[in-house]
Chain A
Amino acid sequence: MNEDKIYWIWLAGLEHIGNRKKIALTEYFGSVEAVFHADVKALKEAGLKKEKELDAISKHQDLRLAERAMAFMQKENISFLAIDDSDYPDKLKNIYNPPAVIFMKGDTDLLKRKMSIAIVGSRKASPGGRKQAESFGAALSHMGITIVSGLAEGIDSAAHNGALDGIGSTIAVMGTGVNLCYPQKNAELYYRIADKGLLLSEFFMDEPARTFHFPMRNRIISGLSDGVLVVEARKKSGALITADHALEQGKNVYAIPQDIRLSQSVGSNKLLKEGAKIVTDPADVLEDYISDYSPEDNRQDQPAENKAANLNEEEQALYKHILNGVLTLDELEIATGLPVPRLNSLLMMMELKDIIKVSYGQISLL
């Protein structure tokens, strides 16, 4: 394999040839080196028809760029695995259209971990959803499960954040090359994952973000995982694509039930209707994988009332109304009879205690 390395990088860097064709070519010629040396006639016989595809190889039979890329990878601590590598994760190899090459930055041992769960969801998540993703990520990671997600804003970031400090750590499957941070907003998270977790991408190191990359990387997210947990998803969320891939790959799909009034819950609730497993506690996920696991001993979720311990009397009264489903400011005003200034002040105190979050007049429980 070692001598092949340079050719794999060369192959990964070729434009205009899809991932599936790249794999087919190496199989046809027997080795990636043979692909490199193949002439146009042989390539045509191998099934390449388009001028663009033929040019992509015949005009780039040159290893200088690949050599430079290799030097760069060494400098930046970027490693890579080709599909014929023994370390290439089996889970990924067995999916439809596995990536020919994956580039990685960070702790590559995470790929050898026994169990991993993907946590995915809406980029425009509610504060409550974000909190759920974070706490599920943290709880599962502390049980030694690696959390896989897509480094996007919202649910993805929250899941990574929660999982980073646990022993399971986290893998971010990126829609860009591993050397770029996208979205820029996640720069801090990106560096933390590079340090303690693993950044992974099938795209060349400096490949910028393109819209079609993101649905593509979703198959890797589910491929690397034993199950996919959807926290919040809108009607046409990318998280639903990940869930579809998971089903095709024979993985379990989980979803957290959400408030039916909110637009970011439409997709995840739809999954539940279609038969995804309802999850209200990390233990609900764990019991599917650990045979001697007795969920009742390890329930993490406490009845919400306990949270109210550090609230004063007035806040307690308000909190009861909120727990009973009075979730907008205007409704609270009528339910409690309190004047708006007082309500605003109490809600803010509760927000500062991390019990609720108010956004556009909607109160979410954390």
Chain B
Amino acid sequence: MLAQIYSCGLLGVEGIIVTVEIDLNSGVPGYAIVGLPDTGVKESRERVFSAIKNSGYRYPHKHITVNLAPADLKKEGPSYDLPIAVGFLAASEQIRADLSKTMLVGELSLNGDIKRVNGVLPMALAAKSAGLKTFIVPEDNKNEAAIVEGIDVLPVSNLSEVIAYFNGESDIAPYRVNPREMLSADNQNYRHDFSEIHGQGAAKRALEIAAAGAHNVLMQGPPGSGKSMLAKAFPSILPALTLDEALEITKIYSIAGKLSDNIMTHRPFRSPHHTISAVSIIGGGSFPKPGEVSLAHFGVLFLDELPEFQKQALEVLRQPLEDGQVTISRVSGSITFPSEFALVASMNPCPCGYFGDPNHECHCTPNEIRRYAGKISGPLLDRIDIRIEVPATDFKDLENRKPEETSETIRKRVNRARAIQTERFRDEAGLFFNAQLEPRHLDKYCELHGAEKQFMEGIFNKLKLSARGYHRILKLARTIADLDGQEAIGMAHLSEAVAYRSGK
């Protein structure tokens, strides 16, 4: 007897339909599994055997061949347990049902319980586009699977339920969620709010501009000046997640196995420790997993103490910063993960940390200070539009003197500025934010007239700007003008942009 069951594997962030074929032959009882299974898949035999037995069914005493097609794609993980078990039962005619429109995934435990697996959301998407009608998923994965509309998601918690369903003994109601509701119910709550931070008006403003134009930020300042706190509050002023964005982030978290049983309703905030390796930053492994840059997709990647990171780990950031995606090449092929994140980095001005702090003596030599700043390579710095100095906080600022603006107020301004940009770049493919403006766009979108032009020429000469530095100021001025609701870039916008210029 031959049984064919649909299941799903993963390639990067995409689900790939895998057909689990099971053939029972007479002859010496035995077991062979083919189709490039990894150890986790091979071990499924023992789990499946016990799960079937303990659910009260018979394990076929025949020569069993299991084939996972396509046979040239490497299969990993325990998610094939359930389809293999159902395949045994179908091949041994203990289940009689039409399985041609159903996809199954799930890990079995020895007593027949079904446990959660990774990557269910991309699998559901793959099932839908392959035209399958039902998707049987572990109970714990039901939320992410049900986001996909147009396919019936049947959550199950043990093998007996599945068998009873196929044999028509009981029915499982399709599980439905409304992702829009989940999103709007939860996305106003942020752990940190800008109103909790007193003072630091300049840094807050810089972050507002960064949020509005999707610019990357580097904050320099002595310890205790509030750099980390500002960075943590940064997601709260970013525009609210759209459903499409939420789905894409959920997909990444789903395959990384980092999804709690809901969809992602917040922009992610990733803050890897500075000992992180280059591979953990961009992703990798023999079955490539998304790295920190992808886990920060549509969110914030916060690198605290930037110069302490390994050089290699920082240099690999260049591609994701430039392209918004990372491509990881393995022998089996290359996989692309999205990585459209906002980089927020912080660093001390010198090794001891206190340079520029009026209240502490800095013990570093000018040479040490220069060398410390020099640890960040030019090409990386070039991709950071805003570089600001965060001063040491004065005790007076810590006292509540006046109510600070809430993140919500700031976010409204950011949203407005983003809307202007969306409208402006409607006809430009792949261009969404001011930060993406290339020199060739600047004449069109950042045109200067009369006095402003003269002013910038003056600045260009006075500050000995490079062409790149000049463009950076124009881009920032564009965002500041957008926040202001102005079509033309004015003097005030330009001079403010110069204040956030890099490498003073």
Contact = CB atoms under 8 A, between A and B. Distances in A.
B402 A344 contact: no
B499 A345 contact: yes
Interface string A331-349: 0011000001111111111
Contacts of B391: 328-329, 360-362
A22 B177 CA distance: 92
B389 interface: yes
A342 B493 CA distance: 9
B198 to A, nearest CB: 9
Contact of A330 (B362, B370, B397, B458): B397
Given A329-B201, A330-B200, A348 B356 contact: no
A333 B391 CA distance: 15
Interface size grouping (class) on chain B: 35 or more
B498 A330 contact: no
Contacts of A153: 366
Interface in B197-224: 199-202, 204-205, 221-222
Interface residues of A, number: 33
A361 B499 contact: no
B362 A183 contact: no
A361 B498 contact: no
Nearest to A358: B499
Contact of B204 (A123, A340, A348, A359): A340
B229 interface: no
Contacts of A334: 401-402
Nearest to A266: B361
B141 to A, nearest CB: 47
Nearest to B483: A341
B137 to A, nearest CB: 50
Q: Tell which of A334, A358, A361 has the most Cβ of chain B within 10 Å.
A: A361
A328 B205 CA distance: 16
Contacts, number: 92
B201 A362 contact: no
B366 A124 contact: yes
B151 interface: no
Contacts of A261: 358
Contact of A360 (B365, B392, B397): B392
B495 A361 contact: no
A352 interface: yes
A262 B356 CA distance: 9
Given A263-B360, A352-B459, A362-B358, A333 B201 contact: yes
Nearest to A349: B495
Contacts of B349: 360
A197 to B, nearest CB: 22
Nearest to B198: A330
A154 interface: yes
A235 interface: yes
Interface in A109-154: 123-124, 153-154
Contacts of B222: 360
Contact of B365 (A123, A262, A333, A349): A123
A330 B366 contact: no
Interface of B: 199-202, 204-205, 221-222, 349, 355-362, 365-367, 369-370, 389-392, 394, 397, 401-402, 458-459, 462, 480, 491-493, 495-496, 498-500, 504
Interface of A: 123-124, 153-154, 183, 185, 234-235, 261-263, 266, 328-330, 333-334, 340-349, 352, 358-362
Q: Which 8 A-B pairs have the closest CB atoms?
A: A361-B391, A360-B356, A340-B201, A345-B496, A348-B499, A345-B495, A344-B499, A360-B391
